[in-house]
Structure 1
Amino acid sequence: MFGINGGELLVLLAVAALVIGPERLPGYAEQLGQWVRRGRELLRDAKSRVDEELGEEVGDVDWAALDPRKYDPRRIVRDALLDDDPPRRVTPPSSRPMTGAAAAAHAAERGPAAAPYDDEAT
Structure 2
Amino acid sequence: MIGINGWELVVILVIAMFVIGPERLPVYAEQLGSLVRRGRDLLQSAKSRVDDELGPEFNDVDWSKLDPRQYDPRKIVRDALLDDSPPSTPTRSAAARAAEQDDRPTASAGMVAEPGKAPYDDEAT
TM-score under structure 2 length normalisation: 0.66
1:65-111 alpha-carbon deviations (Å, 9 max, x no partner): 122332322222223334455642368xxxxxx8x73288998xxxx
Q: List alignment gaps of at least 5 residues for structure 2.
A: 107-125
Alignment partner, residue 46 of structure 2: 46
Structure 1, unpaired ranges of 5+ = 92-97, 108-122
CA–CA distance in 2 between the matches of 1:62 and 1:22? 51
Measured on the aligned residues, the alpha-carbon RMSD in Å equals 3.1
Identity %: 66
Q: Alpha carbons of 1:50 and 1:104: their partners in 2 closer, same or farther (altered >3 Å)? A: farther
Query: Per-residue deviation at 1:8?
Result: 1.1
1:61 is displaced (CA, Å) by 0.6
Q: Distance in 2 between matches of 1:39 and 1:47?
A: 12
1:10-68 Cα shifts (integer Å, max 9, x gaps): 11100000000011101111111111111111111111111111112211110111223
SS of 2:8's equivalent in the other structure is helix
Task: Classify 1:51/1:82 alpha carbon distance in 2 versus 1 (closer, same or farther; 3 Å).
Answer: farther
Q: Looking at CA atoms only, which structure, 1 or 2, has the larger radius of gyration?
A: 2
